[in-house]
Amino acid sequence: MRPTFSKSYSRRHFLGSATSAAFAFSFLPSRVWGANDRLRIGGIGVGGKGSGDVDQAGRLGDIVALCDCDETTLNAKLQKFPSARTFVDFRKFFDAMDGKVDAVTVSTPDNCHALAAALAMKRGIHVYVQKPLTHDVWEARWLRDLARKHHVVSQMGNQGTAEDGLRRGVEAIRADAIGPVREFHVWTNRPQWPQSPSVTARPTEIQPVPANLHWEQFIGPAPMRPYNKAYHPFAWRGWWDFGTGALGDMGCHTANLPFMALKLEHPTAIHAESETLNPETYPGWATVRYQFPARGDMPPVRMNWYEGKLPNGLKNLPPLELFHGESPSDSGSLMVGDKGVLYSPSDYGASWKLLPGDAFAGYVAPAPTLARNGKGDFGMKEEWVAAIRGGPKPFSNFDYSSLLTETILLGNVAIRAGVPLVWDGPKFRFTTGAREATKFLKRDYRRGWRA
């Protein structure tokens, strides 16, 4: 089925995706697993972060199949799992492994996340998808709905979600440690790959495709272009067609603590400033501001995102007075409340402190309300597999992580649109800026690469 826009999402449909419901819902497994039953797991994208994802999943089940468009990467991972079947095309992976695999990890470049996950879920296969969940805003909503429809266990790989520190931070904010939060700030040390201003156009040289690389499969649903080493294996993140830039790479990590703590859902307005855009690569710097409405007794809140270096050469950061004398970390977040600030100097929200320090010398943490994990990246896989076996729904399931991903990727839409946007999340439409922005909500998949 070719992806299409839903005309609207009813209020009832929308409320079903609320963050609070993401944890309250108990997953009903499609089969009952015995204590000695082994989960059959496949890995799609097994280099880089995907290598660790497959290795961790292999501690919790049997790796029965591996897929990667780079045969060198694929063969290296086969050395660890010699009994696994191998594929270079995830479409053929699913055709051959239908009924022979229970769950998959998806750790491809961003442009293939959604299609690989959709093909899995339509076969009733449980999915673990690396952040960002998708390349496009529409795809995040699509995957959430597919997970619900096909009753599969889903988890996005933003590993800070399993850190005890993040969960304690969520509890602190919800227990009013710093008072009502009306703004928060998130920044990153990205980009760390070539993009604007050093790269602003496609390379003109057409290079031979390396013998180990299947270029058709790397491109996937994106528009075809000739091979050049400027895209593969790492620099794809900086290109509009393949990656999601600094926001997509790190936003689902660094904004995770405030997004969860503040029970955020859909922003209502987004406005971005950035370096002058080019049609191929992400800008060298950007600042994105989001507005969220009140949620219950929580007031409206503004999210501020900062990436890159400003034209004056300085790192793009929140106002320094918000740090109360602390040195800004390379990446982190600040939640600003009426009584103080919660500052996390961590990409993952795993550590944090309350500022100013002297005002919180006697701080006593609230009683725990969230389950503890404390195992980081591996803990994410443990919770995913436990849910497949009938346990509680994972913390970064698609009911939650699709909302986080939509928000993050709407920032990229605002950067490209270049105008202030007003967003109706339940109806999935812009009410201001639609002419400039709607075309960036989803791509048309290339022929032969449609679910």
DSSP string, 26-44: PP--SSPPPTTPPPEEEEE
> Residue 159 contacts by C-beta under 8 Å, 6 or more apart in sequence?
253, 348, 376, 377, 379, 380
What is the C-alpha to C-alpha distance for residues 99 and 154, in angstroms, rounded to an integer? 18
Letter string b/e over residues 148-166, b meaning 16 or more CB atoms within 10 A of that residue's CB: bebebbbbbbbbbbbbbbb
Write the pLDDT tens digit of every residue in 106-122. Answer: 999 999 999 999 999 99
**Residues 209/216, Cβ–Cβ less than 8 Å:** no
Classify residue 100 by its DSSP letter: T
Residue whose token pair is 């443990």: 382
> Residue 281 in 3-state DSSP?
strand
Q: What is the pLDDT of residue 285?
A: 98
Picking from 187, 182, 191, 233, the residue whose alpha carbon sits closest to that of residue 45 is: 233
Quick one: which H or E segment has residue 411? helix 398-417
Q: Considering only CA atoms, which of 215, 264, 243, 221 is closest in space to residue 400? A: 264
User: In a 3-state reduction of DSSP, which class is residue 389?
Assistant: coil
Task: Please give the full DSSP string across 55-91, using - where no structure is assigned.
Answer: HHHTTSSEEEEEE-SBHHHHHHHHTTSTTSEEES-HH
285-292, strands of its sheet edge to edge? 353-355, 341-344, 332-337, 181-187, 301-308, 285-292, 269-274, 421-424, 429-432
State how far Cα 344 lies from the chain centre. Answer: 19
Sign of CA dihedral 128, 131, 134, 138: positive
402 touches 249 (CB < 8 A): no
DSSP, collapsed to helix, strand or coil, labels residue 328 as coil
Q: Distance (Å, rounded) from C-alpha 101 to C-alpha 167?
A: 32
Report whether 420 contacts 427 (CB < 8 A).
no
pTM: 0.93
User: CA torsion angle for 231, 232, 235, 236 (degrees, to 10)?
Assistant: 60
Residue 243, CA atoms < 13 Å, CB-side half-sphere? 25
Residue 263 CB burial class (10 angstroms; 0-12, 13-18, ≥19) = middle
pLDDT at residue 25, rounded to an integer: 44
pLDDT digits (tens, 9 = 90+) for 333-364: 999 999 999 999 999 999 999 999 999 999 99
CA distance 251 to 46: 23
pLDDT at 177: 98
pLDDT of residue 34: 74
Interatomic CA distance for residues 384 and 402, integer angstroms? 16
pLDDT of 30 reads 60
In this structure, whether the domain defined by 11-160+375-397 belongs to CATH 3.40.50.720 is answered with yes
Helix (H) or strand (E) holding 288: strand 285-292
| Residue 201 backbone dihedrals phi, psi, to 5 degrees | -145, 160
Give residue 73's pLDDT: 98
Residue written as token pair 């491809």: 108
Distance between CA atoms of 426 and 404, rounded to whole angstroms?
A: 14
What per-residue confidence (pLDDT) applies to 326? 96
Residue 70 region by backbone torsions, left for phi larger than 0, else alpha for psi between -120 and 50, else beta: beta
The list of the chain residues with pLDDT below 70 reads: 1-30
For Cα atoms 286, 287, 291, give the angle at the middle one, nearest 5 degrees.
140
